[in-house]
Each structure stands twice: as structure tokens, then as C-alpha cells.
Amino acid sequence: MTQNIVFSEKALELRAKAREIADKYVRPAAAKHDKAQEYNHEAAKAVAEAGLFRTFVPEEYGGYGAGVLALSCVAEELAKADSGFGVAFAVNALGSFPIILGGTEEQKKEWLPKIAAGEKFVAFCLSEKFAGSDASGLSVSATLEGDEYVIRGEKKWTTNGGVADYYSVFCVTDSTSKSRRISAIMVEKGTPGFTVKKVEDKMGIRCVPVVETHFDGVRVPKSNLIGGRAGVGFKHAMMTLDYARPGVAAQAVGASQGALDLANVYANRRKQFGVPISNHQMVQYMLANMAMKTEASRQLVYAAAAAIDEVGPSPANSKRAAMAKCFATDVAMEVATDAVQVFGGYGFMEDYPIAKFFRDAKILSIYEGTNQIQRMVIARHLIREAGELEHLQEFIPTEVQESYEPDSVPQA
């Protein structure tokens, strides 16, 4: 199924604002914040003042309701200047989607206007030391005691941890159930027993904190249970990731484009054998491949985002989101690697930003579902879709036709 990609005026306006902020506040300070491992508060303030946090929040709660396509455009522009800050922006959408997609009306009115205004930042607490790709294997628990949930355990790799004010925490509320085991609960910064412990020393995206979040008997009101009922957390987590993955893919497109732009400028100024290296066919070949793959990523991302805006959650859009995330993030790593090669010895030196693009690119194929998991998701959908292709059965050898069992699809 092809997808018609239509950019609203608001999406184009938000992209233009993001580009201005990227040029003025993000790119010039990227190296400084990367080396210091410091959050770019000045850029975040500019993003809030420009209304970019309103992009993904519905209009009735103080946002623009501009959709996932507009979010992807903004994330792309910010990541083109600094992948780390692109993550710092987009993770607010990731942490907000459980509320947007599954929260009660009261919860949306309470939390979303503050997020939209940029007054409150959000983090998404899903992964644990022993539950990464296996999101169903969580161990952090929440026990209902009277009108409060008591949360115990620790989360790993919480992006925006310490900076964020709100934390969407996924935890076990019913250890005896398989299908309704997990719930999502909102925890606010400063709640007694909630602490940020280890701050990770990362290879890339060093301007955004990634931390361990600890819950030592953290008590939160029962009203903080996202959706108002227990046991739907895993569903909300999977829906959230489907909505968020085009945003990650858009960060990858921005990272690819940023690396390609630098490589292109360098290749046209660096001379070897008396001419710019862009005159040499091998360099042209690399630049052409980088450009083709970047543009292919962009179109795949936009199509996935537009489909989500048009239809909402669906199996087809889950597959599209996985395809966009997997392809675009693989391409970001390829393009960054080739860009370093174009720079030659200079590309290996931290004096120049292309080394940072290379370091930042790697995480894209790991977080919010590794690309191995994305391929499993895509394959799962393809196998199920095989049952809809019965008109091709006549071209299949007779002896294997009866062996097809659509109900035996492996789960990912």
C-alpha cells in the first residue's frame, strides 16, 4: 500500500522554526556540550519558546496536534545539527505518547499542557538491566496499598533522566498474569524514594543524559496509573514505540544528512593530485550512495509518519514504523562511516564534527528496539500477510502447499 505524503502548513512552519533554532543554538554549541556531557538548556529554552514541544500534543491540551509527520520534520532538522539534541527533543514525545494514547481525560488535562509549553520535560522508563529487547520481562514492581502505588526496583538507560520532570514508568502490577502483567505509572521528579543514580558515560549523544532511575518504595497516588486501569501497560508501550519509531528514524535521516553535507563540502575543498577529491570517481561513488540512501530513508520515514497520522495504530503501521526505523538507522551508520572515510585522517580526529556524527550514529540502531528486533517485527507481519496472497498459490509446488500454517507465526 502506497502512502500519500501531505505536509500541512503547520508542519512546514515548525520545520522552518526547527531549522532556525538548529542553526542558531544547536550546531554552534554541539561540540562544547558533547565534550562536557552537558544538556543544552539554551537550545531547549529556544525550542519551548518557538512552540516546538506543542508539535506532538493534541490541540485540546495546549498543543498544535500537528502529528507524527510534523514531529519527524522537527526531529530531523534538530538532529542534522546535533544528533544528541535531536534525541533530547524527541524523547519528550516518547515519554508523552503513553499519556496521549492511553491516559484518562483528567491525566491529559493535568500533564500535557505543561509538556506542550515546555515547562515540564518527560522521560520514558521501560528498559531494565535484564529486560531490554524483551519488554515483557520487566521486574520493577508496583504494589497497590490503599490509594497509593508503591514502586520498587530500578530502570536502566533512562534518556533525559535528571533533566525530566515527569517519568512514564512501566512496572509489574500483577505478577500472576501473562497478558495483564504490566502497567504504566507517572512518577514526578522529587517524589521521595525516586532517585537518579548512575549517569552513563556514553560513546555518543553525550549532551543528553542517560541514567539509572531507582525506585525505593516510591509512593504515588493511584490516580497516576496511566489510563486509570491496571494491566494495559504493555499495550501502551507497544503503541508508544510504533508512534515514536518514525521520530527515531527521522533523527537518523537528520544525522545522515548532516554527515553527508559535511562530507560534500569537504570533498569539494580538499585537494589531492592537484584537484578536489570530489573529482575522483571513488569519492563521487561514495557521495552518490550516501545521498541516495539518505533520500530513500527520508521518504520511508515520511510515509510511515503520514500513515500513522492518517490511520493511527494498526498492524500495517507497526510494520511501516519498524521498516522506517530499521532502514534509516542502518543508513545513518553507513553514511557516517563513509563520511569519516571521505575526511580521511581528519575524520578520525575529534577536532572535527564528523567524528561526533560517527559516534552518535551507533545508538540509533540500538535504542527504541534494536534493528534485529525491527527485522523480526517486519518478518512477523510479512508471514501473516502471506495468508492474504492465496492468488499466488497456483505458482507454489503442490507438495508444499498444505504445509503452510499461518497460526504458527513466530513472535518477536
Residues involved in catalysis: 368
Alpha-carbon distance values, 159 to 140, 163, 247 (Å):
17, 9, 15
First to last CA, the chain: 23
Q: Is 312 left (phi over 0), alpha (psi -120 to 50) or beta?
A: left
Distance CA 124, CA 92 (A): 8
Find the helix packing angle between 315-343 and 353-361, rounded to 10°. Answer: 150
Exposed, middle or buried by CB within 10 Å (0-12, 13-18, 19+), for 360? buried
Distances (CA, A) of 270 to 118, 280, 354: 43, 11, 15
3-state SS, residue 211? strand
Cα-flanking dihedrals φ and ψ of residue 252, to 5°?
-65, -40
User: Which residue has 537518579 as its cell numbers?
Assistant: 196
Query: 3-state DSSP call for residue 194?
Result: strand
